[in-house]
Amino acid sequence: MFVRKCFLMIPYAFVFIGVSGVKRFRLSIKSYFYTFWQLKGGGTILDLRTFLEAEKQAVFRPEGPLSVAHEITALQYTLEKAGRRPIVVVDKPVMADGTANDIPVVTNLTASRAVVARSLGINDHQTAAPIYAQRTGSQIAPEIISGDSAPVQEIVIEGNDVDLTRLPALTQHVTDPGPYLTAAHATTYDPDTKTDNTAIQRCWIKSKKRMSYFPYPASHNNRNMRKFWARGEDCPVVFWIGHHPAVLMGTQAKLNYPESHWGACGGLLGEPLRVTPSRTFGDAIMVPADAEIVIEGYAPREVLEADGPFGEYTGYSGPQVAAPVVDVTCITMRKDALYHDYGSGLTDMLVPDNMAMEGKVYGLCKQVAPSVTNVHVPAQGRRFHGYIQVENPGPGEVRDALMAALSYRRLKMAIAVDQDIDIFDDSEMMFALATRVQWSRDSFTVDGLSGSLLDPSTPAGAKTLSKMGIDASLPLPGRPGAPSPVPPRSTVPQDSLDYAAKVLAGADMSEWPTL
């Protein structure tokens, strides 16, 4: 079965992209099979622990004690500043009261684009956008297994034994009021169609059995919750923590409403995601059988409490808001559970969603502009900037692509460039903006579009935003097949570059200035 899936997925390995000229991404059949066989662990179940074993060379386990209050997050900030992105596993996290917790904390899991790409069986992260779009569109239905066979239900804690404060949840930033679940994937369902939805949504642990829950107002989970409340009912909800990054990426797929994420997870895994009925809600809400921890409960109707301030993905502390709460009925976990945390506002949180955005924006643009070859959503722009690469566009096609990109809610600026510009290199993007753009001719703004209300530049009370598109591609030639009417870029012969590399090969560069 696994070999058959590999043959079905071979077409995904041949993708044409544009990086520093026309560059063809070739993934040989040999390396392709090796990559997926390695991720499968020789046929084992894909989960968080098998992925950590496959990526053990990229794992950092600090030797000294680290507190869940600020210190683990401070380590992530220090690594980020140094440009290093290992997966961090803290085996004995220290709780706020000074005691050691036996549940290890896994963080920085998705800080590296290269690591996230490898989790999807992709050798080059720069090719992820079209592959992600194809695989999440080629969904594989989940496989249902019994709770007796589900690792995530090896331990079941119910009733008065429930205690959220035993989890090594992190207090990340100075303004955060307490420990938050930042990698909890909330699963609710539409009471009309019974279709489930999953999204990462924060929870502040307030007591042993209660936590705040912030489903973003425009989210599908919020829509589901409001439907239950309109019926006079509390909203059932489960939160699951810890799984293989391919599963986490599947939950980031931008789907229609109502539409389950389990099929998109299967599409990225290349096999059905194993799910099992939750303890409280049965098959009304399924949970990933190979997750690490599951928290089940109800969001009581019209009950709102203070939530935040909270350090958001924007890099700013978001304001305190009135948010729903969840009263917890049950916690299940593996016997040797791992606790996964996202570093909010760091690449650890930005990279997976940005890569999912690349797939979504690529699909939107490709529908109206066949010349689009790639999309990049850089972490430097949080989730607000998108770079679009085109090859031989027709008249008006670049602006069509820019408008399609800006229709995506989170993006507020989109820049289009040609194949000779590396969209993953900010210096190349700045070169294109500096030398190929006349602002009155090549840029435009559109008011009244939907956007992220977490954007700190949003005016108070605004419900819509202004967005900008920039065409930094070369002017179209006067006739088909002719060169663009601009001077050629300065270049050096390739053989001279090769010789220069040999000259430098033995040099000690450690003391040479880098700025």
Q: What number of other Cβ atoms are within 10 A of residue 141's Cβ?
A: 11
What number is the average pLDDT over the span 197-221? 96
In a domain, 325, yes or no: yes
User: Which pair of tokens denotes residue 369?
Assistant: 């502009």
Which of 434, 454, 471 terminates a domain? The answer is 471
What number is the average pLDDT over the span 316-338? 96
Q: Is the pLDDT of residue 222 over 90?
A: yes
Q: For residue 298, what pLDDT is reported?
A: 98
Instruction: Identify whether residues 125 and 213 lie together within a single domain.
Output: no
Is the N-terminal amide bond of 177 cis, ω within 30° of 0? no
Instruction: Identify whether residues 93 and 187 lie together within a single domain.
Output: no
The CA distance from 354 to 332, in Å, is 30
Q: Which CATH number characterizes residue 233's domain? A: 2.30.110.10
Q: Is the pLDDT of residue 41 over 70?
A: no
What number is the average pLDDT over the span 179-207? 98
pLDDT tens figures, 108-129: 999 999 999 999 999 999 999 9
Instruction: Identify whether residues 158 and 287 lie together within a single domain.
Output: yes
In a domain, 508, yes or no: no
pLDDT tens figures, 380-429: 999 999 999 999 999 999 999 999 999 999 999 999 999 999 999 999 99
Instruction: Identify whether residues 138 and 127 lie together within a single domain.
Output: no
Q: Is the pLDDT of residue 14 over 60?
A: no
Q: For residue 26, what pLDDT is reported?
A: 36
Nearest one of 473, 447, 474, 475 to 462, comparing CA atoms: 447
Q: For residue 25, what pLDDT is reported?
A: 36
Q: How far is CA 6 from the centre of its chain?
A: 24
Higher-confidence residue of 22 and 160: namely 160
In a domain, 444, yes or no: yes
- Do β-strands 293-299 and 321-333 pair in parallel, antiparallel, or remain unpaired? antiparallel
Q: How many domains does the chain have?
A: 3
Residues 309/175, Cβ–Cβ less than 8 Å: yes
Instruction: Identify whether residues 18 and 117 lie together within a single domain.
Output: yes
Higher-confidence residue of 316 and 41: namely 316
Higher-confidence residue of 148 and 28: namely 148
Element (H, E) at 203: strand 203-204
pLDDT tens figures, 360-372: 999 999 999 999 9
- Do β-strands 465-471 and 413-417 pair in parallel, antiparallel, or remain unpaired? parallel
Q: Which residue type occupies 208? A: K
Q: What number of other Cβ atoms are within 10 A of residue 433's Cβ?
A: 17
Q: How far is CA 77 from the centre of its chain?
A: 18
Q: For residue 71, what pLDDT is reported?
A: 98
Q: For residue 43, what pLDDT is reported?
A: 59
Residue 255: pLDDT band with limits 50, 70, 90: very high
Q: Is the pLDDT of residue 27 over 70?
A: no
The CA distance from 332 to 154, in Å, is 7
In a domain, 388, yes or no: yes
Q: For residue 15, what pLDDT is reported?
A: 38
pTM comes to 0.89
Higher-confidence residue of 14 and 192: namely 192
Note down the domain range covering 200.
Answer: 134-340
What number is the average pLDDT over the span 91-97? 96
In a domain, 73, yes or no: yes
Residue 20: pLDDT band with limits 50, 70, 90: very low
Q: For residue 5, what pLDDT is reported?
A: 44
Instruction: Identify whether residues 306 and 381 lie together within a single domain.
Output: no
Instruction: Identify whether residues 219 and 335 lie together within a single domain.
Output: yes
Q: For residue 461, what pLDDT is reported?
A: 87
What number is the average pLDDT over the span 167-180? 97
For the four alpha carbons of 427, 432, 435 and 439, in that order, the dihedral sign comes to negative
Instruction: Identify whether residues 466 and 325 lie together within a single domain.
Output: no
Is the N-terminal amide bond of 309 cis, ω within 30° of 0? yes
Q: How far is CA 210 from the centre of its chain?
A: 27
Instruction: Identify whether residues 422 and 437 lie together within a single domain.
Output: yes
Percentage of residues in the chain with pLDDT exceeding 70? Answer: 92
In a domain, 216, yes or no: yes
In a domain, 355, yes or no: no
Which of 432, 453, 471 terminates a domain? The answer is 471
Which of 131, 147, 174 terminates a domain? The answer is 131
Q: Is the pLDDT of residue 189 over 60?
A: yes
Percentage of residues in the chain with pLDDT exceeding 90? Answer: 85
In a domain, 16, yes or no: yes
Instruction: Identify whether residues 80 and 42 lie together within a single domain.
Output: yes
Instruction: Identify whether residues 312 and 373 lie together within a single domain.
Output: no
What number is the average pLDDT over the span 464-473? 96
The CA distance from 396 to 400, in Å, is 6
Instruction: Identify whether residues 78 and 97 lie together within a single domain.
Output: yes
Q: Which CATH number characterizes residue 457's domain? A: 3.40.1670.10
Residue 476: pLDDT band with limits 50, 70, 90: confident
User: Which pair of tokens denotes residue 309?
Assistant: 């301030």
What number is the average pLDDT over the span 34-45? 52
